[in-house]
């Protein structure tokens, strides 16, 4: 009996220690997720200071191929050889996560991909910025979707879609209840079931798009990212934009990085010869 009591006591102590040890880890991850950087230009962890926060984020201030940029039509080189965007998307299970500064939709199976220059880039995730990060002839729009693709070796290609306020976006309408579920809970992640990336409407933009080499628009601001910015502007409702911003609850009206220097980079605009 005495032996049994000791075993029970030991089990209770181990359980208590386990709980106590787990608590600081949970708190630390929440603080880190929420406070490592922000979009307040006056903050010491705002976009103008990202490169000073961590050594591995130094490209945010020292990089020469940073994003976003202004897609100035006077600067672009019009080409036709880039061709139609070769997307091969299919439905698969996905999760939705509140990352503190944006909402990420992540696909769990690597069945969808973008084919570019003979290389397959697997579709990894979507996330949204408001207002838009890229501008066209200096004009900033209301929302920007980033469709992030990666190769097994770590090469990244991003398709960007710009939106202005108007009719609701169909794809975001499908996510409404899920966005509400992760609202105000930083780090919250839920399964949303099967989602079809083909439901993101891009119209004629598979042939009309800008292409340049840039960077991630958030720390660590990794460069050599192949950017494809679709020319056609889609519509999104003000309520949908508000839901995306309110969900992250970061006390900011925006999560868009300021424009970065072009630094004489090649900016191409793909336009088939038969189009006017």
162, 26: one domain:
no
68, 194: one domain:
yes
Q: Give the lowest-confidence range in 72-76, 78-82, 133-137, 176-180.
A: 72-76
Provide the domain count of the chain.
2
pTM, two decimal places: 0.85
Band the pLDDT of 205: cuts 50, 70, 90.
Answer: low
The residue segments making up the domain with residue 83 are 36-270
pLDDT at 110 over 90: no
Domain contains 152: yes
15, 120: one domain:
no
State how far the Cα of 29 lies from the Cα of 135, in Å rounded to an integer.
Answer: 34
40, 80: one domain:
yes
- Residue 101 known to be catalytic: yes
Band the pLDDT of 183: cuts 50, 70, 90.
Answer: confident
Strands 119-129 and 135-136: unpaired
Q: Which of 81, 101, 127, 146 is catalytic?
A: 101
Across the range 187-198, mean pLDDT stands at 95
20, 132: one domain:
no
- End-to-end, the C-alpha distance of the chain in Å comes to 90
State how far the Cα of 162 lies from the Cα of 230, in Å rounded to an integer.
Answer: 7
How high is the mean pLDDT of the chain? 87
Q: In this structure, what CATH number is given to the domain that contains residue 159?
A: 3.10.200.10
State how far the Cα of 107 lies from the Cα of 196, in Å rounded to an integer.
Answer: 10
Domain contains 275: no
Domain contains 276: no
Band the pLDDT of 236: cuts 50, 70, 90.
Answer: very high
State how far the Cα of 45 lies from the Cα of 250, in Å rounded to an integer.
Answer: 13
């Amino acid at each position: 009996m005495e032996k049994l009591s000791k075993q029970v006591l030991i089990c209770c102590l181990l359980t208590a220690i386990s709980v106590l040890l787990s608590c600081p880890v949970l708190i630390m991850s929440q603080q880190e997720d929420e406070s490592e950087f922000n979009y307040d230009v006056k903050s010491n962890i705002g976009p103008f200071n990202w490169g000073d926060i961590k050594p591995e984020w130094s490209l945010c201030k020292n990089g020469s191929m940073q994003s976003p940029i202004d897609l100035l039509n006077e600067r672009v080189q019009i080409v036709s050889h880039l061709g139609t965007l070769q997307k091969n998307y299919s439905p698969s299970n996905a999760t939705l996560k509140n990352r503190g500064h944006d909402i990420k939709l992540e696909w769990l199976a690597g069945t969808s991909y973008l084919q570019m220059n003979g290389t397959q880039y697997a579709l990894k995730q979507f996330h949204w910025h408001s207002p838009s990060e890229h501008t066209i002839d200096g004009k900033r729009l209301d929302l920007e979707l980033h469709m992030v693709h990666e190769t097994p070796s770590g090469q990244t290609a991003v398709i960007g879609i710009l939106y202005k306020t108007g009719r609701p976006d169909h794809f975001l309408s499908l996510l409404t209840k899920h966005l509400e579920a992760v609202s105000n809970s930083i780090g919250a992640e839920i399964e949303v079931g099967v989602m079809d990336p083909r439901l993101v409407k891009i119209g004629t933009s598979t042939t009309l798009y800008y292409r340049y080499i840039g960077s991630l628009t958030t720390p660590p601001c990794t460069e050599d990212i192949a950017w494809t910015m679709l020319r056609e502007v889609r519509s999104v409702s003000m309520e949908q934009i508000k839901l995306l911003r309110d969900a992250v609850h970061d006390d900011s009206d925006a999560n868009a990085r300021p424009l970065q220097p072009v630094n004489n980079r090649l900016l191409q605009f793909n336009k088939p010869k038969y189009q006017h």
